[in-house]
Chains A and B, each alone.
Chain A
Amino acid sequence: MYAFALRRLLISVPLLLVSSMIVYALVHFAGDPLRDLEGRNPPVPPAVLEERRRLLGLDKSLPEQYWNWLTGIVTGDFGPSVKGIDIGADLSRRLGVTMRMVILAILLAVILAMVVGVLSAVKQYSGVDYTATLLGFIALSMPVFWLAALLKEFLAIRINQAIGKTVVYTIGESTPGLEGGLLTKLADQAGHLVLPTIALAAVNYAAWSRYQRSSMLDVLNSDFIRLARAKGLSRRRVMVRHALRCALIPLTTVVALDAGAILGGAVITERVFAWHGMGEMLLNAANDQDVNRLLAWLMVSAVIVVLFNLVADLLYAYLDPRIRYA
């Protein structure tokens, strides 16, 4: 098991290296970061342009630029920004904000999908199953920005009105300039988290619950479940220890693969809720033609995707003994 984990971890290194090359090449060919300056009227003096080019390292050859950028990234230096932003510090703050929402949304979606998927498999073709199916397809087909608007209007505002003060926030990731202890800050962050988490979780919950349902149905109709019953095990034990245990294996793969997509989906969700997270950073960096900020965002996303895949691989090996020796 440890050998397997180590092997998987080592594979991540070349994987990230290759993705860094692709990402760098894509951004490099996407456009000249100084085009904005060059097109100005009155024209910017050539000496200024030359100086900027030298500052950003654009005067060197592409492999040299890549190498300098790569060695910088490994040591935590993301390179200069055209806007003069400290990319590293900015990134770590925004990463915390976004991952808070992404992790919570994944957790919420997985738990809901498991419960609902298993219930609709066990009670196949019952009222529960049909209701879950209907709700699932609605959630699956609803655009995030629209769901977000509905949540603000019908959930947050109603709740806040009912209580008489703002508990569920509709905008931002925290209240600016809030005074108080850790508890007050946590409660404030939680209040801001509710809506974006629900909005982000909804679509994945829908897809995953369908997935969990069919994988549970597969397992329930298998011979080893019949044998488990024939052994004289309780219903609960057959369902949890034998059926659910096996039905979780395919779900882990799907969740890990979708994690990257969730990160992408978070960009929209953040925009709708005006969060100052990773999504905003991506949009701003693209607007500013800020190569290094863009690259930083892309690399961090790549690391997160690889990380989720690693976790899925390890979980998979833990859940399915047939994998460990493969």
Chain B
Amino acid sequence: MTLTDSPGTAGTAAGVKPVLEVRDLSVSFPTDDGLVQAVRGVSYRLMPREVLGIVGESGSGKSVTSLAIMGLLPRTARIAGSACLGDQELIGAPYSTMQHLRGRRISMVFQDPISSLNPVYSIGWQLAEAVRAHHDVSKQAAADRAVDLLQLVGIPNAKERASNYPHEFSGGMRQRVVIAIAIANDPEVLIADEPTTALDVTVQAQILETLDLARRETNAAMVLITHDLGVVAGVADRVLVMYAGKPVETGTVDEIYYSSRMPYTLGLLASLPRLDDRKGGALRPIPGSPPSLLNLAPGCPFSPRCTYRGDVCDEQEPELLEVAPGGHRAACHFSDQLEQRREAPVLETDATLQEELA
């Protein structure tokens, strides 16, 4: 993928430098069975204040990409490529360098708020610790700031609640605390890794609102990782769709949702339940499952599940190429032919599955 060479991406045209630039990032894990290629060349640019949605199913490499950028992968991970936060290269940077960047210039909100907070320290203590990690302030000042932050993310009675322990909070409230920790030092980049996945549907919207509020409050650019296209549509400016460790389509929300050029994206969109659908219509899943990232076969990794498959798909993996001016890119040999499609049933739903669901 050669996003960097392309003129005409919104930010570069105005001469604004991206806050985060990821180039050809790949991550693999040696296992007893062989090398698992979790991420196989991801590139993107994140402009100031921009929200980039990264979408894909489990195992598509969304989280691993972000953890690699944060320098939080286990030591066994083999990481190649580059990720620049401003002028600072993050990949391969020593712990001492990352220590001063993490939490101050780049922060992360994790998926599971239940286990993300240390059970033996109070909420206020953990927040104050995040503040004091990067600012030489008194304990009292840090504690005051912690209360302010708790207020900001919508914890009622913040002053009293600060002395409570994580087990005295609900999942949604804990995620608010994690968000407060992430924005404690006004980061430039905020990575939210499936921030609502582990939560009740009823609190998901609240957490997204809190996240959006936190982002606006700190003017951070955000990478929102999710498998929920609905979430992305509401929050993101641009979308990156990942499949089998690679970006397969990228563009603005409108481009992805209304003129997708990649069968996988179309399949994801078609699988969304719709309120205006004909009544009694079954959900339309994408048949099959994602490929194993261990010893990936040549060709397009999506081809076994794709109805648009041609001979070329099994031989050559399509590159992510521009399909429309302005940065809309897709990795499909047949992207031209998909041009006029919109929410069409590109994928025949598996007949047996249809029966089961009916």
Contact = CB atoms under 8 A, between A and B. Distances in A.
A321 B99 contact: no
Given A231-B133, A232-B133, A224 B103 contact: no
Interface in A218-235: 222-224, 226-235
Contact of A229 (B72, B115, B119, B181): B72
A90 to B, nearest CB: 45
Contact of A223 (B112, B122, B167): B112
B169 interface: no
B329 interface: no
Interface in B99-118: 99-104, 107-108, 110, 112, 115-118
Interface residues of B, number: 31
Contacts of A32: none
A322 B165 contact: yes
A227 B120 contact: no
A320 B119 contact: yes
A242 interface: yes
8 contacts: A224-B117, A224-B118, A231-B129, A232-B99, A232-B100, A235-B99, A246-B119, A320-B119
A233 B72 CA distance: 12
A231 B102 contact: yes
A321 B102 contact: no
B103 A320 contact: no
Interface string B68-111: 00101000000000000000000000010011111110011010
Interface string A236-253: 000000100110010000
Given A226-B110, A320-B119, 15 more contacts: A223-B116, A227-B118, A227-B178, A228-B118, A229-B102, A230-B103, A230-B107, A230-B108, A231-B130, A231-B181, A232-B101, A232-B104, A232-B130, A232-B134, A321-B119
Interface string A243-275: 001100100000000000000000000000000
B351 to A, nearest CB: 41
Contacts of B95: 235
A231 B100 CA distance: 9
A322 B100 CA distance: 32
Interface of B: 70, 72, 95, 98-104, 107-108, 110, 112, 115-120, 122, 129-130, 133-134, 165, 167, 178, 181-182, 185
A230 B167 contact: no
B117, B120, B122, B165, most chain A CB atoms within 10 A = B120
A229 B167 CA distance: 21
A219 to B, nearest CB: 10
A119 interface: no
Contacts of A245: 120
A242 B166 CA distance: 14
A235 B133 CA distance: 12
B137 to A, nearest CB: 15
Interface of A: 222-224, 226-235, 242, 245-246, 249, 319-322
Given A223-B110, A227-B181, A322 B167 contact: yes
A224 B119 contact: yes
A224 B104 CA distance: 18
A235 B119 CA distance: 19
A214 to B, nearest CB: 18
Contacts of B112: 223
A273 B185 CA distance: 62
B115 A222 contact: yes
A120 to B, nearest CB: 16
A246 B95 CA distance: 23
Given A226-B110, A321-B165, A232 B103 contact: yes
A318 to B, nearest CB: 10
B70 A230 contact: yes
B119 A322 contact: yes
A321 B185 CA distance: 28
B103 A246 contact: no
A232 B101 CA distance: 7
A4 to B, nearest CB: 15
A234 B130 CA distance: 11
A228, A229, A232, A242, most chain B CB atoms within 10 A = A232
Nearest to B100: A232
A245 B119 CA distance: 10
Contacts of B182: 230
B195 to A, nearest CB: 13
Given A320-B119, A321-B165, A322-B167, A227 B110 contact: yes
Nearest to A228: B118
Contacts of B108: 230
Contacts of A227: 110, 116-118, 178, 181
Nearest to B118: A224
A228 B120 CA distance: 13
B312 to A, nearest CB: 42
Interchain residue pairs A-B with the least CB separation, the first 10: A232-B103, A223-B115, A232-B102, A231-B103, A224-B118, A231-B130, A321-B165, A232-B133, A223-B116, A227-B116
Contacts of B107: 230
Nearest to A229: B72
A224 B116 contact: yes
Nearest to B178: A227
A191 B48 CA distance: 70
B161 to A, nearest CB: 14
A223 B100 CA distance: 20
A309 B116 CA distance: 31
Contacts of B181: 227, 231
A266 B134 CA distance: 51
A230 B133 contact: no
Contacts of A321: 119-120, 122, 165, 167
A223 B99 CA distance: 17
Contacts of B178: 227
